[in-house]
Amino acid sequence: MELRKNLFKQAIRQGQLQLGLWTQLGSAITSEILSGCGYDFIGLDAEHGPSEFMEIYAQLQACAAGGPSQPIVRIPNHDASLIKRYLDAGVNTLMVPQVDTAEQAQALVSAVRYPPHGVRGYCGAPRASGFGRIKNYATACDAEICLIVMPETRQALENIEAMAAIEGVDAFFIGPGDLAASLGYIGQPMHPEVIRVIEETGRRIQAAGKVAGILCTDDAQTRRYIDAGFKIVAIGSDQGLLLKGAEKLLATFR
C-alpha cells in the first residue's frame, strides 16, 4: 500500500484555483454527500462547528467514501497533542486559526513533522498510514502534509512576510469575520475597509511566494477575490445552503 498523494497541495503549488464548500453541521452523511459534488475541497470545521475529534474522524471516512474532494480540517487551537491526533487520523491538509506571529507559525510546522525536523509524536500504525500498511509513512508523509495558517488579527497582518518566509507554511487562509472584528468592524466582513485590507493582504501573501485563501458567500465579492489571485476559495457552506434553500422553497409556495 502506498501513501496517497495530496492532490490539493500539488494543485495550489501549481497555481490552480481550488473551490470548496465549508461544512459546519458536523454530519458524516452531509460530508459524504458533499464530497461527491465536484468541489476541490470540503472544509471540516472543528473550530466553530460542533464537531469533536471522533465526529471529524467519521467525516474523514465519509469523505473518502463519497468522492474525490480533499478534506481540509480546521482545528480549534494550536495544541501540538491535538494536531498529532488529527494527523494520525488521516488529516493531510490542516488549517490552524489565529496565527499571529512567525514563532507561532514555526511551532505549527514543527508540530506536523516527526523528529528530527519537528516534535510530532510517533505512532506505529495510525489510520494515516493505512493502519501500518504504508511502511514508509513516517519518512514520506511530510511531502503530502499541507499546513494552512489563518491570519485573523492586526498583529498577524504585521507579520505576514515573516510567516510567509517559513518553509513548511504552505498557504494563508484569511478569516474575514475575526479580521473584521480586529479592525473594529465586528460583524461586518463586507465593510469596504475590511475588503480593502483583505485584498491588500492577499497581494502581500502572493508577493511573498505563498498561496492566499478566503471564505466568502457574496458572489460578486468572491469573484473579485478570485480575480485578485486568491487560489483557495470557499464559496459557501452546508449550513448556508440549507438555510437559504429551505427559506426559498417555502417562499415559492407561501
Active site (catalytic) residues: 48
- The CA distance from 59 to 242, in Å, is 18
Nearest to 167 by CA among 143, 199, 200, 137: 143
Q: Rounded to the nearest 10 degrees, how much is the dihedral formed by the CA atoms of 207, 147, 62, 246?
A: -50
Residue 175: burial class (beta carbons within 10 Å; 0-12, 13-18, 19+) = buried
Q: Return left, alpha or beta for 48; rule: phi > 0 is left, psi -120 to 50 is alpha, else beta.
A: alpha
Locate all alpha helices (DSSP H) within the chain, ordered by sequence: 7-13, 28-35, 53-66, 80-88, 102-111, 137-140, 154-158, 160-164, 176-182, 192-207, 219-227, 238-253
Residue type, 191: H
The grid cell for 80 is 501540538
For the chain, state the CA radius of gyration.
18
The answer, yes or no, to whether the previous bond of 116 is cis (omega within 30 of 0) is: yes
Cα dist from 75 to 68, 108, 252, whole Å: 22, 12, 38
User: 3-class SS at 47?
Assistant: coil
